[in-house]
């Protein structure tokens, strides 16, 4: 009986020893058979350290993380996290696409090419008559400027907004002398000049003095004419909508022409409209020469004292403001048709010089208040003038940097002085006023290439 009591006491003590470790190991508080909340905290508390009477709170970031973070509650959280993750992925993908496809807007462009323009015929001024029939046998139109070659070049700085630019452009034509001649031997009674009262001029060939009219009238000699002009145009313009002017590739984003569309720009509309405003300097030089030889058909022989030359040279310097625009229709990203127009009002500073001379010296006036005055003088004046230009062309974008362009150009000048228009009608007066009411029309083709970077 006593041994049974001892065994029961030992079993009770053993069970008590097992209960204490199990309570300490329970992570959520003491074990209980009843559904009662535990009074133990969910996470272990950290006791603050004390140093000399002061205590320091530990930042939550320094707290040890729980072994098992609490899971999100509800579907709203999951949807928000999913949308955030998808948008982050999309942003990264679009950034990669933009980096691979889009290119920055070019900052500079240069271009150059050739052009061939002809001068439309002016009024035909009679110069030489058949001495018998008094019919015109040679006029100024016989030596009119036909087609002349030249070149064009320019450069542009494209502003950071990609839609505006400042452009400088130059083109010039440099035709050679256009000539015509008539021989007196082709007419039974010979030839004579039609130059107003040119008999008011005398010429001394070193042996005799005679009127210029008599010197130029011949039955065995010749008369020749030569006209020559040059044209130089310099423009500085501020341009609007660089796509309309062909300075930047067409389109926006990926899918532009040959992968070189700028990121941004003025929009991918098939119709593009641009404008310009700036100033222009245009220089037009015109030369006329009529030469005669009274006894043979060879002009320019050294020592041939009976040769005479009537020469006129005019220079028109036009400077003023202009404005205009250009429309481009993009049939596809790389090919466009365009038309542009520009016009302006200009001050035209004109100089003109005339002379009648031979190897014996200048002819001189033989009557009136200027009797004895050599016929060689210069004149100048200012006049109001205008310039209009129309270009119709096409452009093809070869690659990201190179493009080709070409088309048809018409340039009109009004209020200018031509050399033929200054032929004097009163050679007794060397102070003739410059006539500045002429008009010039140039037209022809141009072709060139452009490089942008």
Indicate whether 98 belongs to any domain.
no
167 phi and psi angles, rounded to 5 deg: -125, 145
Indicate whether 13 belongs to any domain.
no
- Spans in the chain with pLDDT lower than 70: 1-103, 251-268
CA–CA distance, 87 with 407 (Å, rounded to integer): 49
Angstrom distances, CA of residue 220 to CA of 33, 63, 190, 210: 147, 123, 7, 18
Tokens 């008559």 correspond to: 129
CA–CA distance, 67 with 44 (Å, rounded to integer): 11
Indicate whether 79 belongs to any domain.
no
CATH number at residue 228: 2.40.128
CA–CA distance, 227 with 422 (Å, rounded to integer): 13
Tell me the HSE value of 109 on the side-chain side, using a 13 A CA sphere.
28
Q: Give the number of domains in the chain.
A: 1
How large is the C-alpha radius of gyration of the chain? Answer: 47
Tokens 């969910």 correspond to: 42
8 Å CB contact between 293 and 316? no
Q: Which pair of structure tokens corresponds to residue 52?
A: 């000399």
Q: Which pair of structure tokens corresponds to residue 271?
A: 């119709």
363 phi and psi angles, rounded to 5 deg: -70, 160
Angstrom distances, CA of residue 323 to CA of 331, 340, 414, 439: 27, 11, 17, 20
pLDDT digits (tens, 9 = 90+) for 413-425: 999 999 999 999 8
Nearest to 57 by CA among 67, 47, 66, 65: 47
The CA-based dihedral angle spanning residues 79, 81, 84, 86, taken in that order and rounded to the nearest 10 degrees: -70
CB count within 10 Å of CB 152 equals 19
Side by side, the strands of the sheet bearing 209-211 are: 209-211, 201-204, 364-365
pLDDT score at 76: 54
8 Å CB contact between 438 and 122? yes
pLDDT score at 262: 55
pLDDT digits (tens, 9 = 90+) for 356-390: 999 999 999 999 999 999 999 999 999 999 999 99
8 Å CB contact between 180 and 291? no
Indicate whether 47 belongs to any domain.
no
Dihedral of CA 430/436/438/444: which sign?
positive
Indicate whether 104 belongs to any domain.
no
CA–CA distance, 81 with 73 (Å, rounded to integer): 12
pLDDT score at 90: 41
CA–CA distance, 435 with 424 (Å, rounded to integer): 10
Indicate whether 300 belongs to any domain.
yes
pLDDT score at 100: 41
Structural domain harbouring 221: 117-452
What DSSP string runs through 330-385?
A: ESSSSEEEEEEEEEEEEEEEEEEEEEEEETTEE-EE-SSTTTT-BSEEEEEEEEEE
Indicate whether 431 belongs to any domain.
yes
Indicate whether 141 belongs to any domain.
yes
């Amino acid at each position: 009986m006593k041994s049974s009591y001892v065994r029961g006491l030992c079993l009770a003590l053993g069970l008590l020893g097992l209960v204490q470790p199990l309570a300490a190991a329970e992570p959520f508080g003491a074990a209980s058979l009843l559904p009662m909340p535990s009074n133990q905290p969910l996470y272990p508390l950290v006791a603050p350290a004390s140093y000399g009477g002061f205590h320091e709170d530990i930042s939550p970031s320094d707290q040890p993380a729980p072994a098992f973070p609490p899971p999100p509650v509800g579907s709203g959280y999951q949807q928000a996290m999913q949308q955030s993750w998808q948008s982050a992925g999309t942003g990264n993908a679009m950034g990669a696409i933009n980096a691979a496809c889009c290119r920055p807007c070019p900052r500079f462009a240069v271009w150059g090419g050739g052009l061939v323009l002809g001068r439309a015929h002016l009024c035909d001024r009679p110069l030489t008559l058949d001495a018998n029939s008094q019919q015109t046998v040679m006029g100024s139109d016989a030596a009119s400027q036909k087609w002349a070659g030249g070149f064009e070049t320019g450069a542009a700085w494209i502003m950071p907004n990609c839609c505006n630019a400042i452009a400088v452009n130059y083109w010039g034509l440099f035709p050679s002398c256009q000539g015509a001649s008539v021989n007196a031997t082709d007419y039974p009674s010979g030839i004579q000049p039609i130059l107003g009262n040119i008999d008011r001029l005398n010429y001394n060939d070193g042996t005799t003095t005679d009127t210029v009219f008599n010197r130029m009238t011949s039955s065995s000699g010749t008369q020749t004419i030569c006209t020559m002009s040059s044209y130089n145009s310099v423009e500085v313009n501020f341009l609007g909508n660089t796509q309309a002017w062909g300075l930047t590739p067409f389109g926006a984003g990926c899918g532009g022409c040959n992968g070189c569309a700028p990121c941004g720009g003025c929009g991918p509309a098939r119709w593009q409209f641009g404008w310009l405003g700036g100033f222009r300097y245009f220089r037009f030089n015109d030369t006329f020469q009529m030469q005669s030889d009274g006894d043979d058909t060879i002009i320019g022989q050294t020592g041939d004292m009976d040769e005479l030359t009537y020469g006129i040279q005019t220079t028109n310097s036009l400077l003023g403001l202009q404005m205009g625009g250009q429309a481009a229709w993009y049939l596809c990203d790389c090919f466009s048709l365009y038309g542009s127009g520009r016009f302006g009002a200009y001050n035209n500073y004109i100089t003109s010089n005339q002379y009648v001379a031979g190897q014996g010296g200048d002819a001189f006036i033989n009557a009136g208040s200027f009797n004895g005055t050599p016929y060689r003088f210069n004149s100048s004046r200012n006049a109001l003038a205008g310039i209009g230009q129309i270009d119709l062309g096409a452009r093809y974008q070869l690659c990201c940097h190179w493009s080709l362009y070409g088309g048809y150009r018409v340039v009109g000048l009004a209020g200018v002085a031509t050399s033929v228009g200054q032929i004097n009608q009163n050679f007794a007066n060397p102070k003739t006023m410059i006539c500045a009411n002429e008009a010039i029309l140039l037209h022809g083709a141009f072709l060139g290439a452009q490089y942008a970077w």
